[in-house]
Amino acid sequence: MSEFDKYSTPLSSRYASEEMSSIFSLRNRFSTWRKLWLNLAIAEQELGLSVITDEAIQQMEKHLKITDEEIGEASKQEAIVRHDVMAHVHTFGETCPSAAGIIHLGATSCFVTDNADLIFLRDAYDVLIPKLVNVIDRLAKFAVEWKDLPVLGWTHFQPAQLTTLGKRVTLWIQELLWDLRNFVRARNDLGLRGVKGTTGTQGSFLALFHGDHDKVEALDKRVTELLGFDTVYPVTGQTYSRKIDIDVLAPLSSFAATAHKMATDIRLLANLKELEEPFEKSQIGSSAMAYKRNPMRCERVCSLARHLGSLFSDAVQTASVQWFERTLDDSAIRRISLPSAFLTADILLSTLLNISSGLVVYPKVIERRIKSELPFMATENIIMAMVGKGASRQEVHEAIRVLSHQAAAVVKEQGGDNDLIERVQKDKFFQPIWNELDSLLEPSTFVGRAPQQVTKFVENDVKTALAPFQDKISNEEVKLSV
């Protein structure tokens, strides 16, 4: 059967990076099991188990990376014994005959499966965090570049007071900074399950070391050190608590909301023709409508963000139904949800990197939209200016109210332009401020402290957050997968 005759997830076959796909690959999974068996043997030998020979360890070290043939042999064994870990114990033993009798000594299956999963989760976050850092860095530069450009603000997707384009982007960045904090915290909180035995009591290891509790504790610590972890969970059942998966997936789910919101904003702005995601020279927007410039990147982000957000419930529901020291109804779903979550987050970040590197701004469209709405927003300025010339506020308010409704009727009923200012210029009641109208309608006077907020936010908050990751920041072009 050809590979084209079997379903494969588009997460790995179409979108995700090779780096992330590799972490959750079968080769990496089974090779990591071998690494775990090796380090267990090294630690056990160091603590005095003479049954583990130097030759056994040397053979294991030479065959850590599993071959295609060995994966095939293990699959055959699994079909016979119906147990994946024991199938690989057998296959590794065939490859390393001097170690065959001591591979997996004292361990239960979760020694390799759970510890390997924790390694994968840590390594996967190490892929995501630099990408998130670069998304933030590129958006921060964009925000600074456009910190002074007034744009129409929206509340309820109805015209509101002006802001600036740079200030709007800082709203996205702030949420991404929170995501970065959550990613780092989740990554650094990860410990190793360690060497705990079948129900977490370390009974088998206590037997191996003839009742020496200190050596069992030393074994747990040493294996943890050999695998590059600072901490080991002090108590477990047969598995590490599945609540850890909740803590791991929660930041990814939260990030999904950030990504969806940002991509939705860009999609709306694309419709308004104010801002667009990158559009390649030969890119086709529609098979029928040749003029189309669909925001396909942001649509992909929204689509996959919804998927990522939904995976969090898998972790919550699985953790809540674990029985006593363990049950096996967690296994199948975790094989799906954990890799899917990280592959999806990886795709989202790669896509956001591509988007943030090539956002296209249309200042003239933005200016035209502001001009269509600004006269209404300027009515308070007009009232104050007239009062400053000695007019009654109530009289000015009524006069501008009447003209505003007339102008609104032109816009809504006739489809014309907002002519409020022309009406003010023709009404002699407002003659005292005719010479001031241009300054009263200057968009930059309506944005408050938006430019200053952008500068302070980037200089303080963004730079502080990114300071530990300066070696991860890159200007490398990010190509979007198909």
Residues labelled catalytic = 156, 286
Greatest CA separation for the chain = 105
List, in sequence order, every residue forming a beta bridge with 159; answer none if it has no partner: 154
DSSP string, 282-324: T--S-SS-TT----HHHHHHHHHHHHHHHHHHHHHHHHHT--T
Q: In the numeric block, which tokens belong to residue 71?
A: 């994966």
Question: Which H helix or E strand runs over 74?
Answer: helix 68-81
Q: Tell me the CA end-to-end span of the chain in Å, nearest whole number.
A: 25
- 436 contact partners, CB below 8 Å, separation of at least 6: 385
List all residues 6 or more positions away from 6 whose beta carbon is below 8 Å from its beta carbon: none
Strands 158-164 and 150-155: antiparallel
| Residue recorded with tokens 């502001």 | 370
**Closest C-alpha among 263, 270, 299 to residue 360:** 270
Residue reference for tokens 């979760």: 110
Q: What is the DSSP string of 31-52?
A: HHHHHHHHHHHHHHHHTT-TTS
Q: Which two tokens stand for residue 411?
A: 């816009």
Calpha distance 14→30 (Å, rounded): 24
Q: How far apart are CA 36 and CA 74, in angstroms?
A: 17
Separation of CA 415 from chain center: 43
Contact at 8 Å (CB) between 41 and 52? yes
Amino acid at 381: N
In whole angstroms, how far apart are CA 345 and each of 65, 279, 341, 398? 27, 23, 6, 55
| Distance (Å, whole) CA 359 – CA 356 | 6
Q: In the structure encoding, which two tokens stand for residue 455, read together?
A: 């500068």
Q: Which residue in the block uniquely carries the two structure tokens 């992330």?
A: 20
**Strand-pair category, 275-276 with 150-155:** unpaired
Question: For the chain, give me the number of helices (H) and strands (E)?
Answer: 20, 4
Residue 160 phi/psi, 5° resolution? -130, -165
Question: How far is 138 from 136, CA to CA, in rounded Å?
Answer: 6
Distance CA 379, CA 306 (A): 42
